[in-house]
Amino acid sequence: MQKSNIVQELDALTEYWSQKVLTEANCQQFKVAKGIGATNWHKHDDQDELFIIFSGEMTIGLRSGDVTLKEGDMFTVPKGVEHRPVAEKEAKFLVVGLNITSNKEGGKPN
Amino acid sequence: MQKSNIVQELDALTEYWSQKVLTEANCQQFKVAKGIGATNWHKHDDQDELFIIFSGEMTIGLRSGDVTLKEGDMFTVPKGVEHRPVAEKEAKFLVVGLNITSNKEGGKPN
């Protein structure tokens, strides 16, 4: 049982759109990541993906209309729903899901 | 798909140690709560319980030694582990778990 500080972990990240797992609970991974620019459009057929914004601003592009998230905002992308996170400036956030999605299938840009 | 703002939802809470569900993802409930004083010692045999502190300070009493959490800190109490949250001043936090635990079995004080 280790505590971690989300803000410090976010500040220590070096790579954009990569996820670092801080802890697990009930088979969910709680991961920190930072983004700038956009990922590719993608979806996760096996899991919902939840975002909590800790700094900056991120827009979740959705086919049904974009949702803009600011500090303190929480949003769930249901499984199977196509989405594309976009951050005009650097955004730092927590991602919760069943496993790491920072790969090509998870929309990570080249 | 609705976004919610954790800080605003925390500020709107009126009752201590009660949990309000903001969203669900992968069968997890993401709940806001505020605490002052202490709950009773309790455990959850069916679920891990994860805390993220948004303001104030909360100590998670554990039989193996207390863990003090400050703003930005995240901590998981594994299922079956006895614990007792204590806040000398008001603490506001996010709780993640399978269902609402703000009842007598969940340690809620009388």
Q: In chain A, what are the domain boundaries?
A: 6-97
CA distances from A74 to A12, A44, A69, B3, B63 (A): 22, 18, 7, 6, 33
* Pick among A74, A83, A93, A101 to test the B interface (most B CBs inside 10 A): A74
pLDDT value, residue A44: 96
**CA–CA separation, B21 and B94 (whole Å):** 10
pLDDT band at B110 (very low <50, low <70, confident <90, very high): confident
pLDDT value, residue A100: 87
Question: Is B21's Cβ below 8 Å from some Cβ in A?
Answer: no
Determine the number of helices (DSSP H) and then strands (DSSP E) in chain B: 1, 8
Closest-CA residue to A86 (of A16, A33, A17, A39): A39
Closest-CA residue to B3 (of A109, A93, A39, A44): A93
CATH number of B6-99: 2.60.120.10
Average pLDDT over residues B5-28: 97
Q: Does residue B3 have a pLDDT over 80?
A: yes
Chain A: closest CA distance from residue B110 (Å): 28
Interface touch B76/A1, C-beta < 8 Å: yes
CA distances from A15 to A50, A88, B90, B93 (A): 20, 16, 36, 28
What is the residue-averaged pLDDT of chain B? 96
Which residues on adjacent β-strands are paired with residue A8?
none
Question: Is B65's Cβ below 8 Å from some Cβ in A?
Answer: no
Residue-wise pLDDT for B40-51, tens only, equals: 999 999 999 999
pLDDT value, residue B44: 96
Chain B: closest CA distance from residue A75 (Å): 5
- Give the percent of chain B with pLDDT over 70: 100
pLDDT value, residue A105: 87
Average pLDDT over residues B84-96: 97
Q: Would you state the structure tokens that stand for residue A71, as one six-digit string?
A: 């500090």
pLDDT value, residue A33: 98
Q: How do strand A58-62 and strand B58-62 relate by DSSP bridges?
A: unpaired
pLDDT value, residue A110: 79
Interface ipTM: 0.95
CATH for A6-97 (2.60.40.3670, 2.60.120.10, 3.30.2350.10, 3.40.50.620): 2.60.120.10
Q: Which parts of chain A have pLDDT scores under 50?
A: none
Interface touch B24/A76, C-beta < 8 Å: yes
**CA–CA separation, A95 and A50 (whole Å):** 6
pLDDT band at B30 (very low <50, low <70, confident <90, very high): very high
Location of structure tokens 């993220």: B52
